[in-house]
Amino acid sequence: MNALIINCSPVRSGATAEIVRIVSEALSSKYTTKSICIDDYDFSFCKGCRSCHKTARCILNDDIPVIISEFEWADIIISVSPSYWADIPGQFKSFIDRCTPWCNTHEPHAAISSGKKGYSIALRTGPSMKECERIIQSIEHFYGHMEIECCGRLGLCSIEYKEDVESRINEITTFCYDILQI
């Protein structure tokens, strides 16, 4: 089975990337894992033309199909997102917007294979879990329209730097242990 772990941050070496690394290592005992960073791909903003509502295809030609092929490859998808002004980073939001051709809110629509399971990890610098819950809701809303089953979530507060992740490894590995039980 295959696990895709997505760094939803544009930062390739920060706290989010460290969590992605820990998750990937923890799941590698059961899954073939692949980690990607949303900022490693080149794609444009959605133009709002709604052509995809009629054709199930986007008029733009960029890396979105490449990312979708990673989703297709995966049996489970874990999105790891930091807080950017109390929500997911703009790069990840732009990706979600561009997934409209695969979204189940209109016909015709393209689709990824069924049976995928989705997990969410949110992190933020402040102490309130409310912001993590908002991030997780954004990810789970996206999963729902992609028909990815929401199966687990983890919120991590008071994480600003990569070094802050060290004290949270037990929480992260416990979360991964639950994934390994499926």
pLDDT along the chain (182 residues), means of 10: 97 97 98 97 97 96 98 98 96 98 94 98 96 98 98 97 97 97 86
Segments of the chain assigned E as strands:
2-7, 32-37, 76-82, 117-123, 149-156
The residue behind tokens 């990337």 is: 17
Quote the pTM value: 0.97
What is the CB-side half-sphere exposure of residue 4 using CA atoms within 13 A? 21
Which residues have a Cβ under 8 Å from the Cβ of 29 and sit 6 or more positions away?
180
Two structure tokens written together for 12: 């390739």
End-to-end CA distance of the chain: 11
Q: Contact at 8 Å (CB) between 81 and 8? A: yes
Two structure tokens written together for 21: 């690394």
C-alpha 3/C-alpha 74 separation (Å) is: 5
Residue ranges and CATH numbers for the domains of the chain are 2-180 (3.40.50.360)
Count of C-beta atoms within a 10 Å radius of residue 180: 13
**Listed residue (75, 78, 96) closest to 87, CA to CA:** 96
Asked if residue 108 has a cis previous peptide bond (ω within 30° of 0), the answer is yes
Q: What's the CA dihedral at 23, 25, 27, 31 to 10 degrees? A: 130
pLDDT (0 to 100) of residue 182: 79
pLDDT tens per residue across span 62-82: 999 999 999 999 999 999 999
